[in-house]
């Protein structure tokens, strides 16, 4: 057995990702804050202070830069920037601009996400994405972010996982509670059309701010794998949940690929993972090869649009398994690069153990956060993964 090395391309984005609501804390004007404090919503625990990153973002960036990462994906919060319709907070715009400048000062290239699942309460109150004028309101907000993204930001993600937004809207419309044992609920078609239109409007708005910004969005790839004879069932199931959103990115500068596990499809639809399969803290099957399948499928659908892994990771209390997961995932990324796929970066989920939409129990973070003191402690996986960013070299076994 000999050992070879895969070298990632010059300029390859090597980083970690977060989302504002999951780390900032006290995002009181958002729709999610209201849900978290509504007993009828059945949410296990509220976000409250989260990781207090609204005040401690400098420390987060210091750690990431010191560990060797070259890129940091973070989101800005619409509910803070536009707390009331048409009122844009100069203080909050300045806050997020300081974050951009702080990243640049530390040698971190910022990727800014404009929408990561949360909206202002007033936007939800008027009907959300399917209400009349919703697309124009999102476009207006994006235009207002010019002071944040106008200089020094090379990559902007308009909307994170729009397919999950549509799926959750479909679930709400159905009156059902909770996801099925395998697969995803049926997306809401009106929401799908609305978020696709919002993305295209936002893309134009970003280009009007600075045409050199590279604009895309990220899709939650479920890695649908067909059992023999179920190919047509798989394609029909996957299209409204994934492929329609990938197709919407064909004119983008890049598309974000986000994957964690796989979903097997049989003649009657999704099949739960085997009972003896290793599972993560989110109860997903441990499947590091997911990202390779997701990259290849996305490339097949989107054409020659560059790919960026904008999220990939594992919820586990065993950091050795985290390293093993990333090792397998990065081997898949390296293999796809060697096969000629145009992959521009890899960003781990997540930089911090954070609020995972209802619970703090699933720990995805490379850095642990003490819930009482907010002390940050990089895990061995953070040192290992960050160190790869310095060399851009991934050791691999070769026969």
* Pairing of the two strands 13-17 and 343-349: parallel
**pTM score, two decimals?**
0.97
The single-letter DSSP state of residue 327 is: H
What is the torsion angle, in degrees rounded to the nearest 10, for the CA atoms of residue 95, residue 71, residue 66 and residue 317? 100
CATH code of the domain covering residue 303: 3.20.20.80
Number of domains into which the chain is organized: 1
> The dihedral of CA 218, 172, 22, 321: what is its sign?
negative
Contact 113, 76 (CB under 8 A): yes
Contact 238, 245 (CB under 8 A): no
Q: Domain of 234?
A: 2-398
Q: Determine phi and psi for 311, rounding to 5 degrees.
A: -155, 140
Mark 301-324 as b/e (b = at least 16 C-beta within 10 Å).
bbeebbbbbbbbbbbbeebebbbb
Report residue 306 as tokens. 């560059």
* Pairing of the two strands 109-113 and 71-75: parallel
Per-position pLDDT tens, the chain of length 399? 445 788 899 999 999 999 999 999 999 999 999 999 999 898 999 999 999 999 999 999 999 999 999 999 999 999 999 999 999 999 999 999 999 999 999 999 999 999 999 999 999 999 999 999 999 999 999 999 999 999 999 999 999 999 999 999 999 988 777 889 899 999 999 999 999 999 999 999 999 999 999 999 999 999 999 999 999 999 999 999 999 999 999 999 999 999 999 999 999 999 999 999 999 999 999 999 999 999 999 999 999 999 999 999 999 999 999 999 999 999 999 999 999 999 999 999 999 999 999 999 999 999 999 999 999 999 999 999 999 988 888 887 654
């Amino acid at each position: 057995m000999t050992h070879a090395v895969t070298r990632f391309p010059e300029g390859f984005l090597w980083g970690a990702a977060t989302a504002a609501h999951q780390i900032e804390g006290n995002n009181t004007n958002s729709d999610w804050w209201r849900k978290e404090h509504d007993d009828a919503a059945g949410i296990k625990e509220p976000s409250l202070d989260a990781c207090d990153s609204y005040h401690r973002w400098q420390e987060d960036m210091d750690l990431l830069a010191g560990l060797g990462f070259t890129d940091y994906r973070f989101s800005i919060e619409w509910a803070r920037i536009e707390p009331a319709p048409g009122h844009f907070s100069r203080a909050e715009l300045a806050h997020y601009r300081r974050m951009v400048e702080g990243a640049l000062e530390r040698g971190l290239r910022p990727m800014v996400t404009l929408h990561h699942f949360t909206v202002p309460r007033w936007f939800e109150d008027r009907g959300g994405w399917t209400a009349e004028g919703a697309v124009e309101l999102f476009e207006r907000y994006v235009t207002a972010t010019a002071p944040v993204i106008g200089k020094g930001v090379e990559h902007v993600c308009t909307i994170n996982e729009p397919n999950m937004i549509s799926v959750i809207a479909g679930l709400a419309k159905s009156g059902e509670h909770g996801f099925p044992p395998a697969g995803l609920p049926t997306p809401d078609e009106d929401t799908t059309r609305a978020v696709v239109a919002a993305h295209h409007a936002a893309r134009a708005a970003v280009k009007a701010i600075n045409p050199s910004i590279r604009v895309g969005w990220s899709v939650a790839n479920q890695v649908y794998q067909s059992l023999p004879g179920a190919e047509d069932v798989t394609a029909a199931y996957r299209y409204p949940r994934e492929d329609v959103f990938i197709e919407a990115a064909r004119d983008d500068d890049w598309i974000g690929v986000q994957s964690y596990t796989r979903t097997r499809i049989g003649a009657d639809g999704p099949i739960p993972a085997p009972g003896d399969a290793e599972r993560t803290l989110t109860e997903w099957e441990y499947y590091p090869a997911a990202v390779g399948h997701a990259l290849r499928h996305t490339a097949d659908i989107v054409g020659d649009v560059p790919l960026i892994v904008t999220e990939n990771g594992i919820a586990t209390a065993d950091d050795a398994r985290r390293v093993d997961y990333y090792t397998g995932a990065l081997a898949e990324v390296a293999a796809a690069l060697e096969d000629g796929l145009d992959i521009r970066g890899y960003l781990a989920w997540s930089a911090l153990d954070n609020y995972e939409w209802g619970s703090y129990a699933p720990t995805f973070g490379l850095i642990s956060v003490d819930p009482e003191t907010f002390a940050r402690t990089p895990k061995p996986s953070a040192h290992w993964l960050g160190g790869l960013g310095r060399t851009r070299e991934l050791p691999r076994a070769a026969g």
